[in-house]
Amino acid sequence: MKRLILLFTFVLPITAFAAGGGVALQSANNNLHDKKSLQRGAALFVNYCMGCHSLQYMRYQRMGEDLGIPNEVLEENFMFSAEKVGELMTIAMKKADAEKWFGVVPPDLSVIARARGVDWLYSYLLSFYLDSKRPVGINNTIFKDVGMPHVLWDLQGWQVMTHEEPAAEGHEAAGGHGAGPTLVLKDKEQMSAEEYHEKTNGYRRDVRDLVNFLDYVGEPMQLERRAIGKWVIFFLFIFLIVAYALKKEYWRDIH
C-alpha cells in the first residue's frame, strides 16, 4: 500500500512532466462565450489548417448555427470542398497520398483540444522556431523534431532560438520563461518596441482564437452541459433535503 502511495505521489507527476518535454505551458485563457473569437478561429482553421487536417465529427451547418454564421457566409467563405452545408468538415486529400507526401497522415483535429488540452495547443502553436538541422528547417520547443511545418508563419514571422533575456514583459515570444533558451522574432532588431509588441500580441490573439475554436469543436455541447449541470446539482440538493426529511418522518414511529 505504501509503495502504491509513493507511486502516485512522486513517480506519476515526474512522468507527466517528462511527457510534456519539461517545458512549462502557457495559459490559453480561451473563452467559449466569445462568439467573435470562435468565428475568427473557424476562419483561421479553414484557411490555414484544413488543407491537411479535417474535423470529421463536425458539420458546417452545426458550426454555423452555434457560432452565428449564416449559410450563405459558410458557403462563400468556409466551404471549399463541400457542396452542402449539412456535410462533415472533411478534406479531399487521401490518406495514401498524405502518407506518401508527408510520411505520416495528418491527424483529424476534432478532439485534439480534449486529447492534448488547450494550454498545450496554445503553447505548441507559439513555439515554432528555425532549425537548419531539421528537414523542413523548423522545430518546436513543445513537440521536439515535429514534422508539421509552421503554417502560421506569415502571421507570426519566423522565430529563432536565443539565450538573451526578453526585452520587456509582453514582448516575450513562446518558449521564453526568463531563463534558458528564448524564442524571439528573427526580424526583432528591425522593429521598434511598439511594432514588436503589436506583432507578437496580434499573433497570440490569433492562436487563442484558433485554440478557442478547437476547444469548441471538441465538445460543442460543453457550455450547455455546464449550464444543465448546475440545475442538476441544485435539484439533487433540494431532493437531498426532502429525502432527509422523509427519512426522519419514516423513522420517527420506529424509534
Neighbour-count burial of 109, counting CB atoms closer than 10 A to its CB (0-12 exposed, 13-18 middle, 19+ buried): buried
| Residue 153, domain CATH | 1.10.760.10
Q: Which of these, 39, 92, 93, lies nearest to 65 by C-alpha position?
A: 39
Q: How far is 30 from 37, CA to CA, in rounded Å?
A: 9
The pLDDT of residue 189 is above 70: yes
Whether the CB-CB separation of 138 and 149 falls below 8 Å is answered with: yes
Q: How far is 148 from 140, CA to CA, in rounded Å?
A: 9
* pLDDT tens track for 121-179: 999 999 999 999 998 899 999 999 988 999 999 999 999 998 765 544 444 445 544 44
Q: How far is 46 from 38, CA to CA, in rounded Å?
A: 12
- Examine the domain organization and report whether 75 and 177 are in the same domain: yes
Using CA atoms, how far residue 66 sits from 132, 211, 213, 216, in Å, is 43, 16, 11, 10
- Examine the domain organization and report whether 215 and 238 are in the same domain: no
- Examine the domain organization and report whether 232 and 208 are in the same domain: no
- Examine the domain organization and report whether 250 and 149 are in the same domain: no
Whether the CB-CB separation of 85 and 140 falls below 8 Å is answered with: no
- Examine the domain organization and report whether 87 and 200 are in the same domain: yes
Task: Say how many domains are in the chain.
Answer: 2
If you average pLDDT over each of 93-102, 128-137, 217-226, 241-250, which comes out highest? 128-137
- Examine the domain organization and report whether 54 and 135 are in the same domain: yes
Within-domain flag for 151: yes
- Examine the domain organization and report whether 77 and 153 are in the same domain: yes
Q: How far is 2 from 32, CA to CA, in rounded Å?
A: 42
The residue with cell 511527457 is 19
Which pTM does this prediction carry?
0.78
Structural domain range at position 232: 228-255
Share of the chain above pLDDT 90, in %: 58
Within-domain flag for 18: no
At residue 100 the predicted structure's pLDDT band, cuts being 50, 70 and 90, is: confident
* pLDDT tens track for 6-54: 333 433 443 343 344 567 899 999 999 999 999 999 999 999 999 899 9
Would you state the pLDDT for residue 255?
60
The pLDDT of residue 3 is above 70: no
Could you tell me the three cell numbers for 95?
Answer: 490518406
- Examine the domain organization and report whether 119 and 238 are in the same domain: no
